[in-house]
Amino acid sequence: MATTSKNYNILSSTSAFFVWGGWAYYVNSIEGKNTGLVSGITQGIASFVITLIVVFAVTKLYNTISGKALKIILPAIITVTCIGIVLVVVHSAVGTPHILYTIAPSLTVAFLFCIFTALSLRKNENATHT
């Protein structure tokens, strides 16, 4: 069974907090009324938690799905679709004014991160079997 390290999970999540929280602050701060701060903190916390969940979900799906290509692409599609739905709901609830601009870059990078994680899992799996 392929896995990722604890350091990989924490470093990825912490980076997501600062990068995507900062981006959300920047994109939404032009609206005034603390919307940038609220959106930034919301996105930062969401990105931290979601990144931890993404690594878990991709690992679980990777180990469940058979087929070399499907093991790489399908976890990314399923995970990013679910993340997108959650982020739209959360940002709607907190009143983020520019939801699409706030989440589109992070979803794009999340998709690539899922692919990278699946490829890392494959590499770890292959190293274990040799």
For the record, the structure tokens of 66 come out as 């058979």
pLDDT tens-digit readout, 33-83 = 788 899 999 999 999 998 888 888 999 999 999 988 999 999 999 999 999
Instruction: Find out whether 115 and 77 touch, Cβ atoms under 8 Å.
Output: no
| Closest to 62 in 3D by CA, of 48, 78, 51 | 78
The pTM assigned to this predicted structure is: 0.79
Q: Domain coordinates of the chain in residue numbers?
A: 6-129
Residues near 54 by Cβ (< 8 Å), separated by ≥ 6? 79, 83, 110, 113, 114, 117
